[in-house]
Amino acid sequence: MDRSVPGRVGTIAPTLDVPAAPMPDPAFLRDDLPLPEVSEPEVVQYFTTLSQLNFSIDTHFYPLGSCTMKYNPKINDDMAFLAGFAGIHPLQPTAQAQGALELLYRLQDWLAEITGMANTSLATLAGAHGELAGVLMMRAYHLARGDAGRTKMAIPDSAHGTNPASAAMAGFEVVTLPSDADGNTDLVALRGLLGDDLAGVMITLPSTLGLFDTNILEVCRLVHDCGGLVYGDGANMNALLGRAKLGALGFDVCHLNLHKTFSTPHGGGGPGAGPVCCGDNLAQYLAAPIVIRTDGGDYEFSEPAGSIGKISSFHGNFGVLVRAYTYIRTLGADGLRSISGNAVLNANYLMHSLKDIYSLPYDRTCMHEVVFSADWQRERGVSGLEVAKRLLDYGFHAPTMYFPLIVHEALMIEPTESENKDTLDAFIGALRAIDAEATSNPELVQNAPHTTPVARLDEATAARRPVLRWEPEAAD
């Protein structure tokens, strides 16, 4: 608006080549809309400059723990933009969309293979949406068996906040499952929760501490023996690709975050995809629709017999599914296996290169991410948040802060497999430099960032008194 100059225009109205018509009743016309009067180059320059303020995986290292901000190969977009995929309509007769259905069918099959499950529904639109579908399936399973007294869902204290929210939305009472001193599920506490009122447990593997729960086989056995089910939060599947299958470990149902593990965009909260995979015991409850292949070789949408029903409009976020399909197809089984290998190697390299100066609450081999504590910096008056903000000045995205909640001053770093050793070394150098600054010049860190377009945002006021829409300044 502040660039508007009266009379400046960015378009040339074409010569009238249709019969003139009278203007509508002036009562329906208004001239008070604050539309900017600008030229085309000004508009282009304005939005291009804004886009250059973006911080993204295509411009910077982005080690945001738990989010798996890996590189998204451009071939994914090329395939999603193919006219046959991009131009398809969800209401098109399936006979005219057999290629698209075949892609969905194959993706269902591959995701089931990767997780060691029997079948997949692609209808869910985000990780938490997949969780909700998964726990609703667990509920349907118990109710179908007449086992209506199973009202409790046990969830570890290190879990993503979406887990208890999903369980509560599905009508379960959430009970907290503590972690033991090594960061594994506390088996003594779990035994105390077993009973005919336990619907199941929701486990993230590796955990949000970046650790492989070495008690997992025993957890699955104990829960199954008491009649419960085991849900797998697949947010951290990047660590397990081609190495371990949740189904083989004893999980009954899980979701995958395609925007994490399978390199689809994390764009602004959506569109996403959080497919649900499950074993034979739960397959009949999968969210509709799923794609089946008929004896004649045609592909059709189908609703499983005991389905929890439709959970989204149409067939899920198709464009995202095309990208994930492309990623799997591009890499193949060996490629997927090297992803987990490199993701785990990178995280352990960071852990070993920094644990002398950043406190490591759980000092054991990590998986795809490492959780430090900024406790040693805090002793010098510099908080985890301030270390994270200072990283921005060094050209790196901040790690996840203050999560998981069981780690004091948590800094959760996930390098992913995308980055090479040079980038990791530069990042290690930055964190070591910030630690030195915490001693030599703590104010420099406490007031960071100094080089970004905006410095400290007032998060507290933004949350307490949110302004949710832009309004033009009142005219004088």
Partner 1 sequence: MNPNDRSYTREHEWIIVEDAGTRRALVGITHFAQDQLGDIVYFELPKVGDTVAQLGKMGEVESVKAVSDLYSPVSGEVIEINSALTDRPELTNEDPFGEGWLVRVTMSDATELDSLLSAEEYNAFVAEQH
Contacting residues toward partner 1, per CB under 8 A: 161, 375, 401-403, 405, 408, 459-460, 463-464
In the complex with partner 1, the residue whose CB is nearer, 75 or 405, is 405
Please count the other Cβ atoms lying within 10 Å of the Cβ belonging to residue 226: 17
**26: which strand partners?**
none
Q: C-beta of 305: minimal distance to partner 1 in Å? A: 38
Euclidean distance between CA atoms 43 and 340, whole angstroms: 44
Q: Which is nearer to partner 1, 183 or 232 (CB)?
A: 183
User: In the complex, what is the shortest distance from the CB of residue 175 to partner 1, in angstroms, rounded to a whole number?
Assistant: 11
CB of 158 to partner 1, least distance (A): 13
Indicate the residue among 168 and 248 with the shorter CB distance to partner 1. 168
135 or 410: whose CB is closer to partner 1?
410
Residue 460 CB, shortest distance to partner 1, in Å, is 3
How many other C-beta atoms can be found within 10 angstroms of the C-beta atom of residue 43? 13
- Beta carbon nearer to partner 1, 336 or 371: 371
CB of 462 to partner 1, least distance (A): 9
Shortest reach from residue 375's CB to partner 1, in Å: 8
Any residues with CB less than 8 A from the CB of 277 and at least 6 apart, and which? 111, 112, 115, 117, 119, 120, 234, 246, 247, 253, 254, 255, 256
Q: Which of 289, 432, 279, 450 lies closest to 350 in space, CA to CA? A: 432
d(CA 446, CA 180) in angstroms, rounded, equals 34
Q: How far is CA 71 from CA 58, 266, 327, 416, in A?
A: 7, 11, 11, 9
The pair phi, psi for residue 99, each rounded to 5°, is -65, -45
In angstroms, the CA 276 to CA 384 distance is 35
Give yes or no for a contact between 226 and 247, defined as CB atoms under 8 angstroms apart: no
CB of 465 to partner 1, least distance (A): 9
Nearer to partner 1, 327 or 403 (CB): 403
Interacting residues of 429 by C-beta distance below 8 A, sequence separation 6+: none
Our CB check for partner 1 shows the closer of 173 and 303 to be: 173
